Structure 1
Amino acid sequence: MSAAFSFMARFGARLVANGYAILPIQPGTKKPGRYRSGEWCDYPAWTRHAARATTDLELQLWSGWPDAGIGIVGGAVAAVDIDIADNAELALDIERLARERLGDTPALRIGRAPKRLLVYRTVKPFKGIKRHPLEVLCLGQQFVAYAVHPATNRPYEWPEESLADLDIASLPAIDEEQARAFLDEAVALLPQALRSATLAEPAKAPRPAHAQQGTPEAVQAALAFIPNADLDYDSWVRIGLAIKGAIGDGGASLFAAWSAQSAKDVPAATAKAWASFRPNSIGAGTIYHLAMERGWKPDAGLELDGAALRDAVHPAAGMLAKISNASAPIQEQDQFSLVIPDGLVGDLTRYMVATARRPQPLLSLGASLCAVGALMGRKYRTESNLRSNLYIVGVADSGSGKNHSREVINDLFLAAGLVDHLGGNKIASGAGLLTAVHRQPAILFQIDEFGMFLSAAADRRRSPQHITAILDNMTELYTAAGGVFLGAEYANRDGHNERRDINQPCLCVYGTTTPVRFWSALEGSNVIDGSLARFIILPTEDDYPEENPSSGIRVPPAGLVEGLRLIAAGGGRQIGNLVGRTAGLETAVDPMVVPMQPAAQDAFRALGQEITRELREARGTPFTAILARIGENAQKLALIRAVGIDPVAPAISGDDADWSIELVRRYALRTVSAVERHVADNDTERNHKRILEIIRSAGSDGLGKSQLIRRTQFIDKRQRDEILVTLVEAGLVTMAMRSTATKPGLSYRATQQEV
């Protein structure tokens, strides 16, 4: 199926006109997706479409994506999903019940018969309700309307009326109460074999004061009435948490014996799960209640309340004593505070911040360093021959104000007559990059959607050679800044294929991207080969700062314009903007040497010793390349800051060194942490890290099972459960029961939170 005749192109506009919120579905799946750089990928943020109508621009874009299916977003509509595959008569009976209780909808969809789905309009959006194998899909969920079913390899069918021909107002309207009542009645029609093997939640009844603590004897007696006949995973975890909450680590043997009743039991996995359990508000009360529901009647002489046996000493007395005797509050470990430097770099940064609708000081600083660094190219150097060429990436969510810095630099360079130092917005090939640097050896490229660019340039398996050559050439140009970059030799030297050598190139790159796009573009090889280490990565501390009401039309300040011109002229040593544009080796290039004051020398000497120790400790890990570049990048920033303060007679001071070292060191270590958390070499490792990051982002409260399922729809249930078991066994995630507005629920929490 071609893009022109995809389901989206055929039915998308009609569905939107009829009032439905739609989204693209990846071919061969039931998952929302996006088409990027010639391939389909997951669309984690698809739920945003539940809050607004589909735009004309989205519809136009999606209609051009090859083989795009169509999903309908729940909220304004709800869908009764009858997931019964082996009993056609039962599936039909439940469909009839739905039509009787909810309305005779004309919107019936068949994917793999006898499974079926009925679509209704909602009076008010409500969260989806599940009674396996039945479900009412609604808010936070979606269903496929038009696509090829992955199991049958046939298009989904609408045997009565096509949804694209039905105005949303023509569907019967239902509310949450009706949906719940229908499901309760429908579940009663199911044979026991089709229902989930799930322990019922305890009734909402007052619990005794010491409901969490129990006695080993009482818990053992109660467990005899709670058979483990191949229970589902959540119920198994819930019993384990309750045992540990009731009698602590001493309950390990009880849990192991109870778990061994199931044919699915794996003793080693049971032991690891037990070690990971962190019970909160669950304990003996849960065990006793479930047992009593199944006929247990405790003996009169059996002590149920474990707390009553140890009232003399509070089980948490040691911890309470430590809290009571604490002499000072816990201090924040992260005391970093961004300091905008003096001089031209600081002036440029403050101007960007003052004129931005959403001020981003860190990203503005990164853009300013690259802009000044490019203008300094081939005109200033350190005593060790380091230059001002920088690669910086600003990382922030969409809509957070990433574009403003680039726009300001374009305006200022144009006003100063320095636009020749700006490269294009995109780099089409490795040869195109070299042509631009040969034309202007001191050049700044500002690249939006840098993650998409990097995804293509770093993918040597799927991207063409002229794209991957961009990253290769960037790496070589970075290293050759203090010498001569020797161009490629061609077999046919006909004037178009002449070797192009560049004397002391100064390529600066400032890219902006979103976190997901940037980290998903990288693989472990990019860390090991050092290509990532050349970038200073600056993740914003605040994706959505308060809007600045004074932002609007900008008039480039005369002082900034003159400051940029002065640096481009090497502090006045060169006259005019055309000086130094010729890249040939015959062009004389004699940069000013910027001395380093004793305090700065001491600071960098101490840094070198620290980095050496850390490199030895990190030997054999993929992070040595990042650590090894800290000193070099810090000296480059110190050079740029010093020249920005005094372009005529600059000197790197102790303050320049301290500021640069603190900034580069902080964000290099942040990069190491981010690589550990996000970068993977294959899809399996990537999914493990992605789910761990989702759990970690929930903080100390953890993430409920239903929340986790909604946020991990990029994988199926089996993969999700396997990954969760692995993360628990590895000690990266713990499980606990937590109270909610309706009932206790299982939650997952990362064992280590990012500082």
Structure 2
Amino acid sequence: MADTISNLQAALDLARRGYHVFPCYPGGEKAKRPMTPPVMSWANQSSCDPAQVQRWWATYPHAAIGLDVGKSGLVVIDADRHGEHDGVEAMGVLMGKHDFNPDSAPLVATPNEGNHHFFRVPEGTKLGNGRGALPAGIDVRGAGGYVIAPGTVMADGRVYEIYGNLDDAPMLPDWLMHVISAPREEAKRDIPLRAQSQSGNHDGDRTLDEIADLLACIHADCGYEEWYQVLMAIHAETGGSAAGLALADQWSSGGSKYKGRREIEVKWRSFKRDGITGATLADIARAHGGDLSAIAKKHNKPADQLGTAEHGWQVYRQIIQARDGTLADAETGEVIETTSATTRGASANQPDYPDGLVGDLARWIVATSRKPQPAISIGAALTLVGLACGRHIAGPTMTGTTLYVLGLAPTGKGKDAPLKQISRVLTQSRMAAHIGPPEFISMSSVVNMLKRKPCALCPMDEFGDFMARVYSRKGGPHERAIPKILRTMWSANFDQAATPEWAQVESVQINAPHLSIFAVSTHEQFYSAIEGGATSDGTLNRFLLIDGLRNPVEREPELDPHSVPMGIINDMALVFRRSGEMATYQRNDIAANPADAGHLTVLPWCPDGAEKEWKRFQVECERTMLEKPDEADFWVRGAEMAIRIATIIAAGRHGANVNTADVAYGVDFVRRSIHAMVAGARDYMAENENEAAINRIIRILKERGVVKKRDLMRTLKGIRAKDLRDVLAFMDEAGMIEVMQVKAERGPPAVSYRLL
């Protein structure tokens, strides 16, 4: 095998030679599918611009390379070898029959023992993905199709190795053009050009060639549920005909799990003439990156026929609005929810309280709040108990208890209550000397604070503004150096951490620093501030991100917020002094370092399987990083974060070790944090103005449910009307939103949008 190069190098090389590429998933269930984000519509976004390619692969370095065949002026003959259909052998026989030298066309040996034969198409000729009269096991990828590009290295190490030079691809020979263009006589006899209405009769309105083009967008190695739905959809569209069965078998044979035609026949006979329709096939094709608009145009469909499983080929779903504001489908009477699942289910998605001091602190903070934020309160409690453990209690992996916690909630929704109680708990527990500043002006201010207070917890409000300042391109070097020193202190544990040296100030050693942060911000403020910088430099993944309630229920506080219960104060003291008095010293010298002075308490693994539980999560993190490279930055410190939380909980219940329940809680809390980070990055961070506009629209629809067009335009004042129309049209075509006509009892119908 030839030496491999990185996917970035391979993608750049292809782009510089004029081939249109885009990132795909390199492994996992979505392997070989377009990576979303950043590619919402591969057919529109595939690019041969090296700068764009560099941006994509700088963010997703392990992404596989998708090659847009049609835009690159190519057609690919895809010969697979699965089950009883040996497309590789059939292609060899076909080429021999026409005296075609197989070495005259570049060939890529695919990891599944198949071959991709590359040809160019005559100028002005537009070949789609229909296979015409080609034998079973051979597919065509043309306009509206893509393949994994030569040189791609998949997550499991398998390589798409090319024999020959892509630039030397010959023109598609006439004999092969004739075979591809030849009609399938059986199909023409068995399948009507148009079927009856969508309701009742399930003989569809798509020709066999159109179904083939939709199938070309879907890999047969998709998940079982999708594979099964595809077969049902083909059955519905073709009326269960023999031609439909042949097409279903031919498509399924392209998957590595293909067991032969008999399995397809058995399932085919079991399908009823109801349920899933051909619109489901369009939905699945779109989800796999298919350009339904291009397919519709190719088959002379009206431009608005972009069907989905919910509303077939209609652009506008007809909705009736009752006097009380309730929306219902005009045809079915189905009530349309006007608030998002995220908003409705927020309270159900809050974590439970852990045992011991952490849970007691969190419950007390909630009981003293006018607008309770349970999850954010748990985050505050973790930093408080973590501070009491600081410099003298270690987990079984010798990690410390430093935490950077960030609670996100809208303005005026109760996130300030946990923030205020941080200082109150520390003051009444006689630990006020460990309260850090609410903000750092420069890197030197962090260093000076650590010299005075090597064990500190900083309660920080409006954290998004702070991050905007330290990541601003206009910021000075001392401001922009703050994230680096925060990263250093997070990782120091019980080691010595050296501070930077500048001007007349010498570097100093901070002995076993414990710097924790509890911060709050709004989603918009925080994500708009970092613009991806904190993700790429490793700052964001050191934070435990907590998504608070969007609309907490307001009520009178149950307890006096100014008086910390004596039980909590006593428990804080027990944790704080667990390793002896020396551990509480506020001195930055070697004698006051508990680890070096013999005052370090290490909590070992409990023999109940806690270590195995943690290692399972460690493997999960590593596997997810490999399978989802776009999320790798968020998972890289997941296992360490989980054991820190578990250690804090164990210390808070005055345990002798870290047990399985402690680990399970830490793992669950970290998973929630990572999922919140991934969702936040997707919803708020963008590479260009169009992506930013899409993200804003998604957020609005998530918050409000069904939104009228005029209300959307008022909310998005910064976007020109023409640009907004273009963005909404793209989102509709990409299957991201549903466009509806809402008819109120009075007035004309109003165009409205809903997130799908």
Interval containing the TM-score (normalised by the shorter chain): 0.5 to 0.7
- 1:485 equivalent in structure 2: 497
The residue type equivalent to 1:369 in the other structure is L
Q: In the alignment, does 2:598 pair up with 1:594?
A: no
Q: In the alignment, does 2:484 pair up with 1:472?
A: yes
Task: Name which of 552, 556, 573 aligns with 1:548.
Answer: 556
Q: In the alignment, does 2:471 pair up with 1:458?
A: yes
Contact residue 359 and residue 401 of structure 1 kept, 8 A: yes
Q: In the alignment, does 2:620 pair up with 1:610?
A: yes
The residue type equivalent to 2:743 in the other structure is S
- 1:343 equivalent in structure 2: 356
Q: In percent, how many aligned pairs have the same letter?
A: 26
The residue type equivalent to 2:593 in the other structure is A
Task: Name which of 546, 568, 574 aligns with 2:576.
Answer: 568
- 1:118 equivalent in structure 2: none
Q: In the alignment, does 2:644 pair up with 1:639?
A: no
**d(CA) in 2 for partners of 1:342, 1:396:** 25
Contact residue 307 and residue 314 of structure 2 kept, 8 A: no
What SS does structure 2 have at the residue aligned with 1:533? Answer: helix
Contact residue 438 and residue 458 of structure 2 kept, 8 A: yes
The residue type equivalent to 1:406 in the other structure is L
Contact residue 471 and residue 480 of structure 2 kept, 8 A: yes
543 and 489 in structure 1: CA distance in 2 versus 1, 3 angstrom threshold: same
**d(CA) in 1 for partners of 2:356, 2:641:** 19
**d(CA) in 2 for partners of 1:726, 1:720:** 10
750 and 632 in structure 1: CA distance in 2 versus 1, 3 angstrom threshold: same
- The CA deviation string for residues 469-492 of structure 1, in whole angstroms up to 9 with x for no partner, is 222211111122231211122353
Task: Name which of 431, 435, 445 aligns with 1:422.
Answer: 435
Task: Name which of 291, 302, 306 aligns with 1:275.
Answer: 306
Q: Which runs of 4+ in 1 moved over 6 A?
A: 211-214, 266-272, 280-286, 332-335
Task: Name which of 693, 704, 723 aligns with 2:699.
Answer: 693
- 2:92 equivalent in structure 1: none
Task: Name which of 705, 715, 719 aligns with 1:715.
Answer: 719
- 1:624 equivalent in structure 2: 632
**d(CA) in 2 for partners of 1:273, 1:693:** 26
The residue type equivalent to 1:392 in the other structure is V
Task: Name which of 444, 455, 460 aligns with 2:457.
Answer: 444
**d(CA) in 2 for partners of 1:703, 1:274:** 23
Task: Name which of 506, 513, 529 aligns with 1:505.
Answer: 513
279 and 738 in structure 1: CA distance in 2 versus 1, 3 angstrom threshold: farther
Contact residue 395 and residue 603 of structure 2 kept, 8 A: yes
- 1:581 equivalent in structure 2: 586
**Cα RMSD for the two superposed structures:** 3.5
Q: Which structure has the greater CA radius of gyration? A: 1
- 2:567 equivalent in structure 1: 559
- 1:662 equivalent in structure 2: 668
**1:635 shift after superposition:** 0.5
**1:681 shift after superposition:** 3.4
TM-score (norm 1): 0.54
TM-score (norm 2): 0.54
What are the within-5 Å matches in structure 2 for residues 744-755 of structure 1? 744-751=749-756
What are the within-5 Å matches in structure 2 for residues 197-346 of structure 1? 273-275=304-306, 336=349, 338-346=351-359
Contact residue 356 and residue 652 of structure 2 kept, 8 A: yes
**d(CA) in 2 for partners of 1:450, 1:491:** 29
- The CA deviation string for residues 261-310 of structure 1, in whole angstroms up to 9 with x for no partner, is xxxxx969996753167759989999xxxxxxxxxxxxxxxxxxxxxxxx
- The CA deviation string for residues 175-214 of structure 1, in whole angstroms up to 9 with x for no partner, is xxxxxxxxxxxxxxxxxxxxxxxxxxxxxxxxxxxx9999
**d(CA) in 1 for partners of 2:734, 2:316:** 28
- The CA deviation string for residues 632-666 of structure 1, in whole angstroms up to 9 with x for no partner, is 111100000000000xx531011111111112112
**1:416 shift after superposition:** 2.2
Contact residue 371 and residue 553 of structure 2 kept, 8 A: yes
- The CA deviation string for residues 21-53 of structure 1, in whole angstroms up to 9 with x for no partner, is xxxxxxxxxxxxxxxxxxxxxxxxxxxxxxxxx
The residue type equivalent to 1:657 in the other structure is V
Aligned residues: 439
333 and 433 in structure 1: CA distance in 2 versus 1, 3 angstrom threshold: closer
679 and 482 in structure 1: CA distance in 2 versus 1, 3 angstrom threshold: farther
**d(CA) in 1 for partners of 2:715, 2:301:** 27
Contact residue 276 and residue 731 of structure 1 kept, 8 A: no
**1:338 shift after superposition:** 2.0
Contact residue 530 and residue 625 of structure 1 kept, 8 A: yes
The residue type equivalent to 1:407 in the other structure is K
**1:409 shift after superposition:** 2.3
The residue type equivalent to 1:583 in the other structure is N
- The CA deviation string for residues 144-186 of structure 1, in whole angstroms up to 9 with x for no partner, is xxxxxxxxxxxxxxxxxxxxxxxxxxxxxxxxxxxxxxxxxxx
- The CA deviation string for residues 78-136 of structure 1, in whole angstroms up to 9 with x for no partner, is xxxxxxxxxxxxxxxxxxxxxxxxxxxxxxxxxxxxxxxxxxxxxxxxxxxxxxxxxxx
**d(CA) in 2 for partners of 1:285, 1:636:** 51
What are the within-5 Å matches in structure 2 for residues 72-91 of structure 1? none
What SS does structure 1 have at the residue aligned with 2:740? Answer: strand
The residue type equivalent to 1:409 in the other structure is I
Question: Which consecutive unaligned segments of at least 5 residues does structure 1 have?
Answer: 1-210, 215-247, 253-265, 287-314, 320-331
What SS does structure 1 have at the residue aligned with 2:306? Answer: helix
